[in-house]
Structure 1
Amino acid sequence: MRCIASRLLYAGVAILVIVFAGPVNATDWNLSPSASISQIFTDNVNLAPSGQEESEVITNTNVGFRADRSGPRLDLNAAYNLQNVFYWRDTRDDETFHQFAGNGNLEVLDDRFFLDASAAYSQRFVSPRDAVGDNIIGADERTDVATYRVSPYWRERYGSFAESEVRYIWEKVDVQRGTRGDPSSEADRWRAFLASGPDFGRVGWRLSYSLDEVDFDDGSAVTFESAEALASLRITPQFSVFAAGGREWNDFEVDPSRAEPDDEFWRAGATWTPTVRTFMEAFYGERFFGKTYGASLRHQFRRSQVAIDYTEAPTTLTNVIFTPTLFLVVDEFGDPILVDGDPLFLDFELPELVSDVYIAKRLTVSASGSGVRTRWVLRGFDERREYQVDPRDEHVYGVGATFSRRLTSDSTALLDLRWQEANYDNDPGRDDERVYGIRGSYTWRVAPRTRGNVQTSWQRSEFDIDNREEDLWTAGIGLSASLGRRTTASVNYRYSERDSTRADRDFQENRITLTLGATF
């Protein structure tokens, strides 16, 4: 097992390079340290079936900070949490978890040389198939996932004739435990382009080069390399057409049933911006895996926005995993805290923790808006994955909706719905899987410094491979009080129950959590 300290070292180097390279006249840090201690009483610490339950008393501590620093040449945001879980009866289960997310941008030389850096450290399920529990209760199916990225780049403008950029990206993904093999990896990426400036008027052009070299810890390696020339013509101020062609030199292990990854490619399409609020682009082309399509739509209404994207491209876990990650700790009411603010029941969107290359054909549709009292988000996705080493295919798709409404000046209601499905071909260990559910909560002010919360959720999971069906129910109630300007206390009760067609998967759990927290 890799040392946690060595993993966090990458994060420190990435962020500290920016911090100490920043100009001395940058705005001071905005720093918000925090700490909390929770006492948890559970009657089923392992989420075991009836007759095998074990009660436990758990102390959970969280110490962390949020920090941001902004200036004319420096932007930096970071959040860190150190979670310690102590089990009073079985101290062998004591755990320490790190959660971190940070990113920064430094302008080293005026308008020319820049440095980006980011890092993240979190826990996630090894496979969504048996996803249940958290870092405190039933945490056996989780693994640490760390990502680090450092990217220096140089921009140059040649008057109004052209502009260019050369960028190097170093990335590392460190996965403690994968689904198949070791998907941990290190990547070196190069990006370069030279594009036309205003001197060319209605005619535009762009020359670009891309190189990705990814080495996985299981001994496999992947290379994506391509060069492209693009020309565009602006027919009207709102409408333009473009065509591009090039060649790619990809190198990775391929099953005989898949196409060789070396080939020429081309695409042609159009861009239309009928108003300042609307953008549309679509293209058709051909790559080594066959005909390819792409499209994008953006529209901004007065109080809402819509976005639609469709892409087709080869990728790996290394590319996908650089997404907003979960801080798998819970708030005073027991809810998971999400960095991106998007609560999920069970996530088929992220691929399994494997090192294989796959062709991703993905459609994403999203819409969001807000009114005086209401906020809402609608989202749908459809992705087909064609793995290149292991001749298996996946088709994952789903929809979700979140609604939040302020009912009175002192109360708010939240409703969250999710439905996702995954279909697997040529995979002897997997078959169709579905998950759908609903969650609701209501928060209100009980007294000037006290708020109450009630919540309930239901999730249905279906696994065709073993004809398994499971219902997961939760219900909870809690109170949170402000003891001072920076101190809060809370008490929360939660009941969880899973009813499965397999008796060894059933469980019931009662949990009481007492929490004292403070910011400094």
Structure 2
Amino acid sequence: MLLLLIAQRASALDWLVAPSLRLRESYSDNALLAPPGQEKSDFITEIAPAIALIATGPRLQLHLDASWRKFLSRQRADSDTVQLQGAANAVLLKDWLHLDARASVSQQNISPFGAPVIDTLPDGQNRSTVRATVLSPYLRHRFPALGTAELRYTRANVSGGNNLLSTHSDELQARFDGEPRGRGWTWNASADVRRTQDSVLAPQRKERASVGLRYPFSRKWAGTASVGAEKEGYEANDGRNPQGRFWSLGGVWTPSPRTSVAFSTGRRFFGQTYSLDAHFLQRHNNWSLQYSEDITTMPAQFARLGDSDAAGLLDQLWRGLFPDAQDRRLRIDAFLRYANAQGDAGALNYFSHRYYLQKQLKLNLARATPKSTLLLGATAVDRTAQTDSGIDSALLPGIDLGSTDHTRQLGASAGWSWRASARGSVNVNAAYASVRSLSTLRRDDNLTMTAGYSRILQPNMTAAIDVRRTRHHSNRGGNFRENGVSATLTMRF
């Protein structure tokens, strides 16, 4: 209701409402993802009405992509799911009061091991619906000759199907960024407090405060430094107190407006840390490379909107090909929806109440020309549990709880779309993901390959046919192979 009031008051607000209906008939030779010798084939009918909503204006940016999907099949009971990705940014009071909001509804793995989520198949035993919402009002104001101050409150809620997971957090952040001084050096100071309530844990309180400095040595190089103190609220499984002082030293290299590299090294209570954030934009190519280390939880990972990295890369490349921002956003959504339906290279998130030390390396490449689009991704994630495994006994009854004490994931994906004619396109996608438990020596591998052809029948009607092959292998059993073919008709209104 609040966003609608903002929209009515905002000047020059441009709305796009794009409803659609997808009808898909699929055949699978192993609809239940059973091991060899137990396969059962099935025809699956999917009915999926959807809506895309985009609003752009000086005081409101809104993006919503939502669908309701009904599955009809013989081997499984009829089922339905909801998928949603939404984000909004609003200016409630110019130069003072702002609002950020995010929401998502998605299908996620319950366990990191076992059958992966296959988008064209109905619900499986190793998947459940996750709902996440983030609401963040904040005050931000620039004080001339002093700097910019920001005070932000964030409320985040994450819940899983059948009450498997339920958390909410309240966070208060204060930050001040000083105006450039002398030769252009700047400083900042920040403090935040977060209280998290998990359905099976006592309330956790996190505190953090820091000050930072950035000093330019030249037009291309700048040095950075920060110091501070932090206190995590969980009880570590090794008996150590998760708190202490921290520091970091780094640099920023910006040889051109299209290239930037920021790197740092430092120390926190869990040991030496490193970070990297690099971006490189060319006429047809856009690269990004990130490395990070932090304490996190699975609910915190669920609260992040997916595809933000890939969407950002494509948005920059497609600005020349599709100047209209709303049309470009719809095309990006459609491309990523197809790619992620077959699998991606992102970190596999799963249901857990535990705290983890996560080390993650991500590489993304987008290449776009007038006739083709290529998206490559690779991810390596190392997670070490910081709290005991017993709290996950109700979530993961079918596996050894110790298998999530220390996991390592490797993933790679490639999605390619080629415009074969004015009306037809060829689409190819391949994704590989490996999850290893370094504590119990378990390893699960998933490989998915798809190829398809889509054709515009009428300006608002598209038909597509796709073939798929999925393979799952584990050294603990449960191997399977699945082949499928689907025919899809999409109508836009």
1:227-279 CA-partner distances (Å, limit 9, x unpaired): 0011221111211112111100111021026x421111001111111122211
Q: Which residue does 1:98 correspond to in 2? A: 82
Pairing partner for 2:387 from 379, 386, 389: 389
1:438 pairs with 2:449: yes
**Which structure 2 residues correspond to residues 51-130 of structure 1 after superposition, within 5 A?**
60-85=46-71, 93-127=77-111, 129-130=114-115
When residues 142 and 436 of structure 1 are mapped into structure 2, their CA distance, relative to the original with a 3 A threshold, is closer
Cα distance in 2 for residues equivalent to 1:41 and 1:371? 34
Deviation at 1:313, TM superposition (A): 0.6
Match of 1:333 in 2: none
CA separation in 1, counterparts of 2:70 and 2:200? 31
Q: Does 1:460 align with 2:465?
A: no
2:370 partner SS: coil
Question: 2:323 matched to 1:310?
Answer: no
How many positions carry a matched residue from both structures?
449
Deviation at 1:156, TM superposition (A): 1.4
Deviation at 1:51, TM superposition (A): 7.6
**Long gaps (5+) in structure 1:** 1-15, 327-335, 481-489, 491-516
CA distance in 2: counterparts of 1:341 and 1:43, whole angstroms: 22
Is residue 325–residue 338 contact of structure 1 (8 Å, CA) maintained in 2? no
1:42 Cα offset (Å): 8.3
1:274 paired residue number: 255
Aligned with residue 422 of structure 1, among 411, 414, 435 = 435
| Distance in 1 separating the partners of 2:455 and 2:50 | 28
The AA in structure 1 aligned to 2:385 is Y
CA distance in 1, matches of 2:30, 2:214: 64
Alignment of 1:367-386 (within 5 A): 367-386=365-384
Contact 1:46 1:138 in 2 (8 A): no
Contact kept in structure 2, 1:348 and 1:421, CA below 8 Å: no
Match of 2:364 in 1: 366
Question: What pairs up with 1:242-281 in 2 under 5 angstroms?
Answer: 242-256=224-238, 259-281=240-262
CA distance 1:238–1:347, change in 2 (3 Å)? closer
Inter-CA distance 161–340: structure 2 relative to 1 (3 Å threshold) = farther
TM-fit CA distance, 1:210: 2.3
The answer to whether structure 1 residue 407 and structure 2 residue 420 are counterparts is yes
The RMSD of aligned alpha carbons is 3.3
In structure 1, distance between residues paired with 2:444 and 2:298? 21
* Residue 374 (structure 1) shift: 2.3
Contact kept in structure 1, 2:343 and 2:413, CA below 8 Å: no
Q: Which residue of 2 aligns with 1:204?
A: 186
What is the CA–CA distance in structure 2 between the aligned matches of 1:453 and 1:271, rounded to whole Å? Answer: 46
Q: Is the 8 A contact 1:33 1:519 kept in 2?
A: yes
Alpha-carbon distance between aligned partners in 2 of 1:261 and 1:183, rounded to the nearest angstrom: 24
Tell me, what secondary structure is at the counterpart of 1:18?
helix
More deviation, 160-169/211-220: 211-220
Task: Provide the C-alpha distance between the structure 1 equivalents of 2:238 and 2:34, rounded to a whole number of angstroms.
Answer: 45
Indicate how the Cα distance of structure 1 residues 341 and 116 shifts in structure 2: closer, same or farther if over 3 A, else same: farther
Partner of 1:329: none
Instruction: Assess if the C-alpha contact under 8 Å between 2:426 and 2:454 holds in 1.
Output: yes
Cα distance in 2 for residues equivalent to 1:308 and 1:348: 13
Moved more, 124-133 or 193-202: 124-133
Tell me the residue number matched to 1:8.
Answer: none
Deviations 1:401-448 (A, max 9, x none): 222222344432222222222221234xx7112223432223457899
**Equivalence for 1:499:** none
Distance 1:460 1:44 in 2: 11
Instruction: Report the Cα offset of residue 291 of structure 1.
Output: 0.6
Structure 1 letter corresponding to 2:348? L
Residues 31 and 482 of structure 2 are in contact (CA less than 8 Å); yes or no, is this contact kept in structure 1?
Answer: no
Separation of aligned partners in 2, 1:22 and 1:445: 34
Q: CA–CA distance in 2 between the matches of 1:426 and 1:287?
A: 24
Larger radius of gyration: 1
Q: CA deviation at 1:96?
A: 3.9
Identity within the alignment, %: 21
**TM-score, with length taken from structure 2:** 0.81
Shift of 1:471: 2.8
One-letter amino acid matched to 2:473: E
The answer for the alignment partner of 1:352 in structure 2 is 350
The question of whether the paired residues in 2 share the 8 Å contact of 1:147 and 1:173 is answered with: yes
Q: Compared with structure 1, are the counterparts of its residues 199 and 444 closer, same or farther at alpha carbon in structure 2 (3 Å cutoff)?
A: same
| Deviations, residues 77-126 of structure 1 (Å, cap 9, x unaligned) | 22333334467x89x93434333322212111112110111212233332
Q: Is the 8 A contact 1:151 1:169 kept in 2?
A: yes
Q: Find the aligned partners of 2:454 and 2:166 in 1 and give their Cα distance.
A: 41
| 3-state SS, counterpart of residue 19 of structure 1 | helix
Rate the CA distance shift 1:143–1:175 in 2: closer, same or farther, 3 A: same
TM-score, normalising length from structure 1? 0.77
In 2, Cα distance between equivalents of 1:248 and 1:36: 49
